[in-house]
Amino acid sequence: MNGSKSLGLMLLTPAIVFVLLFFVAPVILTAVFALTNMSTATGITGGAYQVTQSSLRKLAESYGQAELANTLAETRYTVNEEGLEAIAADGADARLVAEMRAKLGGRSFEKRRDLESAIKTLNSRPRNTRALKALSDTFHRSIVNERFESADAMLRATTNLGVALSADQKSALADATYTGWVWTTQNFTRMIALPDTQRTLINTFIYVFATLAIFNTGFALVLSIATHYMPARPAGIFRAIWLLPRISPPVLYVLLWKWLAWDTGFLSNFLANFGVAPRNWLLDNPTNAWIFIVLINGFVGASMGMLIFSSAIKAIPGSLFHASEVDGASRWQQIRYIILPQLRWPILFITCYQSLSLLTSFEYILLATEGGPGGATEVWALKTYLTALNNYAGNLEYGYGAALALVLVVVGVVLSLAYLKVFDFKTMVRPPRIEQ
C-alpha cells in the first residue's frame, strides 16, 4: 500500500460516510422540509385520504365544489349488490331480494323515508315497520369519516355511492381530502408576517451580543490578565474553578443556577434577611430572566476565552515584561501597551467563533427558562426547537421548524466560510512533503 492516494482515500472513507449521512444530508433535508407543511398531523411518510367535515369545507371553499361537498356530506341510501347480499345473509325472503334487485337495483335515495316508500311498493315487502327500518338501514351508504389508503380506493367508494364525478371533481376531492404533507412556501411568508419573528430576532441579538461582549471576551480578558499577575498556584486554582461550568453537564449546571434563583433557593433565602419577599428570580420578570440567561451562558463561555488568552499572554517573551518594568511602566500601562496588542488576533478568533456558537445554542436557555417568561427569552434557535420538536400544543411543525432552522443553517454556512477567510487557510493546505 505505497500509493498515498489510495491509502488516503481509504483512511478518509469512514469520515466521508458519516459526514454525508449526518451533515450533508441534514442540510439538504432541512431545505427540503422547509418547503413542506410536515407536522405531526401530516406525518412524515405519505398520508391517507379522509373525508372529514373540515376536508369537505375545504372542498367547498378552496376548490369551489360546494355542491359536491353537500352531496358527499349527505347520508345516502343506495340499493347495490353489496347491500342485497347482506340482507340475503340476514335471512331476508329470497323473493324480496330478487324483486329489489330487479326493480330498485342501482337506485339511490337521499332519505331513508324515500327508500322505505320505494320498498313499500314492492309485492314481497316486509309486513312490519321494524323489519322495514332494519332493511333500509342495511342500504345506508356514506364515506364521511372513512379513511382510504389511496385516492383510487376513495374514488371507487364515491362511485359506489352512486355519485358520478367529473375529472375536475376527482382531483379536487383527492387534494382536499389528502392528510399527508404537501409542498408549500407558506412557511416563509408566515415567518416574515408574524410579529413574533421580529421579537425573536431582537432577543437573539441581545443574547449574542450581551453574552459575547460581557463574558466571552470581556470577562475572559479579566480572568486571563488577572491570573497572569498571580503566582502559579492561585492562578491554577482560579482557572480550574472557572473551567467547572464548561466541564459540568448542562443539566446539572443549570440546576445549580435554579437553586440559586428559585423562590426556595439561595437568593430568596439570603435576601429574606433584608426583608425582600422570596420569589423566582429566574422567571419573575423579563429583565431578571435576561440577567440570568447572560450569566448562565457567560460563565460557561468565559472559560474558552480565558484559556486562549492565557496561552497568548504566556507566549509573550518575559523579557518584554521585565524591560517595561525597568522602564517604570505601571501595571495598567503594561496591560495596555504589551498584553492587549498581543491579544488582537485571539480576541477576533473568539468573537468569530463564539458568536456563531452562541447564535445557535439554546441548551442552557431551554433548561433555565424554556424561553419564558412569556417568550421574553426565546431566541431563534430555541424557537426552532420548540416549534419542531417540543411544544405544548402537541402538533410538532417540522416544516415550519425546518424553515426557521434553514435561516440558521444559512447564517452558519456564511459565517463559517467567513471564518475560513479570516484564518490563514493557505498555510493549512501546504502540500505534503513526501511526494509519493
Partner 1 sequence: MTGNYKTWPMILLLGIITVPLVLMYVYLFVDTVTNSAPGSLVPNEITGEHWRFLWQTLPGRPSIWTATFNTFLFATVTTLIVLSVSSTAGYALSRLNVPFRAFFLAGVMVLHAFPTVTLIIAIFLILQFLGMYNTLIGVILVKASLELPFGIWIMKGFYDTVPWEIEMAGIQDGASRFTVWHKLVLPQVMPAISALGIFSFLAGWSEFILPLVLAPDNKVQVLSVYLAALIADDNNFDMALFKSVGVFYVLPVIVLFLFFQKRLMSIYGGGTKG
Partner 2 sequence: MRILLKNFGKSFGAVNVIENLNLEIHDGEMLALLGPSGCGKSTTLFAVCGIHKVTAGQILFGDRDVTHVPSQQRNVGVVFQNYALYPHLSIAENIGFPLKIRKESAAEIKRKVHEMADLVQIGALLDRRPAELSGGQQQRVALARALIRRPDVLLLDEPLANLDAKLRLEMRSEIRRIQQETGITAILVTHDQVEAMSMCDRIAIMKQGQIVQIAAPMEMYDNPVSDFVAGFLGNPPIAFVDGALTGSVFESSGIRIELPSAAQRNGGPVKLGIRPENFQPEFPQKVSGEVTFVESQGRETLYDVRLDDGQILRSIQGHAVRAGVGERVSWGISPDNILIFDEKGARL
Provide the binding-site residues for partner 2, judged by CB under 8 A.
Answer: 2, 433-436
Q: Which does 369 bind (CB under 5 to 8 A by kind): partner 2, partner 1, none?
A: none
Beta bridge partners of 147: 50
Q: How far is CA 371 from CA 282, 298, 378, in A?
A: 11, 17, 4
User: Segment contacting partner 1 (CB under 8 A): 48-56, 141-149, 163-171, 321-329?
Assistant: 321-329
Number of chain residues interacting with partner 1 (CB under 8 A): 121
- Is residue 307 within 8 Å of residue 225, measured between CB atoms? no
Q: Which helix (H) or strand (E) holds 108?
A: strand 108-109
> 352-391: which residues touch partner 1 (CB under 8 A)?
353-354, 356-357, 359-363, 366-367, 381, 384-385, 388-390
Tell me which residue has cell 312490519.
128
Q: Which of 213, 246, 291, 316 binds partner 1 (CB under 8 A)?
A: 246
Annotate 387-418 with DSSP letters as a single string. Answer: HHH--TTS---HHHHHHHHHHHHHHHHHHHHH
Q: How far is CA 74 from CA 141, 153, 357, in A?
A: 9, 20, 58
Nearest-approach distance from CB 359 to partner 1, in angstroms: 7
Beta bridge partners of 140: 77
Gap between the Cα atoms of 17 and 31, Å rounded = 20
Tell me which residue has cell 430568596.
268
Residues 6+ apart with CB under 8 A from 59: 65, 68, 69, 72, 172, 173, 176, 177
User: Judged by CB under 8 A, does residue 417 bind partner 1?
Assistant: yes
Nearest-approach distance from CB 425 to partner 2, in angstroms: 17
User: Judged by CB under 8 A, does residue 292 bind partner 1?
Assistant: no
Site pattern 210..229 for partner 1 (x: CB under 8 A):
---------x--xx--xxxx
Nearest-approach distance from CB 436 to partner 2, in angstroms: 6
Which CB sits closer to partner 2, 127 or 430?
A: 430
> 5-44: which residues touch partner 1 (CB under 8 A)?
5, 7-9, 11-12, 14-15, 18-19, 21-23, 25-27, 29-30, 33, 38, 44
Q: Which of 160, 248, 288, 351 binds partner 1 (CB under 8 A)?
A: 248
Beta bridge partners of 108: 78
User: Judged by CB under 8 A, does residue 46 bind partner 1?
Assistant: no
User: Judged by CB under 8 A, does residue 240 bind partner 1?
Assistant: yes
Q: What are phi and psi of 281, to 5 degrees?
A: -65, -20
Which CB sits closer to partner 2, 393 or 429?
A: 429
Nearest-approach distance from CB 207 to partner 1, in angstroms: 14
Which CB sits closer to partner 2, 130 or 426?
A: 426
User: Judged by CB under 8 A, does residue 431 bind partner 1?
Assistant: yes
Which CB sits closer to partner 2, 2 or 273?
A: 2
Gap between the Cα atoms of 139 and 96, Å rounded = 14
